[in-house]
């Protein structure tokens, strides 16, 4: 069952800047994630943050072609939910628009966007500094 939701203003500009200072994998226990995780735990009560779930800050200028987060070749079959927060303010980059296959677009600076991992989407290439917090989560009920 596909689902998506946008929650505005989950992080402050200062919180985004602090997270954007780190690129790569983070620990779910990182205190900087608390505002995001508090929203996710109420919106996605079945989300499991244990392995293989992971969270990272990404800077990828070439963007991402059309894909779903379960993996176009099933390499992340375990992934049920994806969430992201754009950490870079719009004036720091050009391009980099996030698009769903149905045409819905998001430049979700400071906003939490979450969706089921079978939703096809892409991110346009960009110029400048565009960092995004990405979270890939398993569904705890699928392990039971």
Alpha-carbon span 117 to 75, nearest angstrom: 12
Q: Are 113 and 90 in contact (CB under 8 A)?
A: no
61 φ/ψ angles, rounded to the nearest 5 degrees: -60, -30
The reported pLDDT for the residue numbered 142 is: 65
CA dihedral 82, 98, 63, 65 (to 10 degrees): 80
Quote the radius of gyration of the chain (alpha carbons, Å). Answer: 14
Q: What pLDDT score does 71 carry?
A: 79
Instruction: Specify the pLDDT at position 144.
Output: 45
Q: What is the pLDDT of residues 75-96, one digit of tens each?
A: 899 999 999 999 999 999 999 9
pTM across the whole model = 0.94
What's the pLDDT at 74? 72
- pLDDT lower than 50: segments of the chain: 144
pLDDT of residue 44: 92
Structure tokens that stand for 93 in this block: 């980059």
């Amino acid at each position: 069952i596909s689902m998506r939701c946008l929650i505005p203003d989950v992080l402050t500009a200062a919180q985004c800047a602090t997270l954007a200072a780190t690129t790569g994998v983070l620990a779910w226990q990182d205190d900087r994630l608390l505002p995001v995780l508090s929203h996710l735990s109420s919106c996605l009560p079945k989300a499991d943050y244990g392995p293989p779930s992971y969270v990272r800050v990404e800077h990828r200028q070439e963007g991402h072609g059309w894909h779903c987060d379960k993996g176009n070749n099933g390499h992340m079959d375990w992934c049920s939910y994806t969430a992201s927060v754009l950490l870079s303010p719009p004036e720091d980059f050009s391009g980099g628009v996030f698009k769903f296959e149905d045409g819905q677009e998001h430049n979700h600076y400071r906003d939490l966007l979450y969706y089921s991992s079978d939703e096809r989407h892409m991110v346009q290439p960009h110029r400048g500094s565009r960092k995004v917090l990405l979270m890939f989560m398993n569904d705890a009920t699928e392990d039971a």
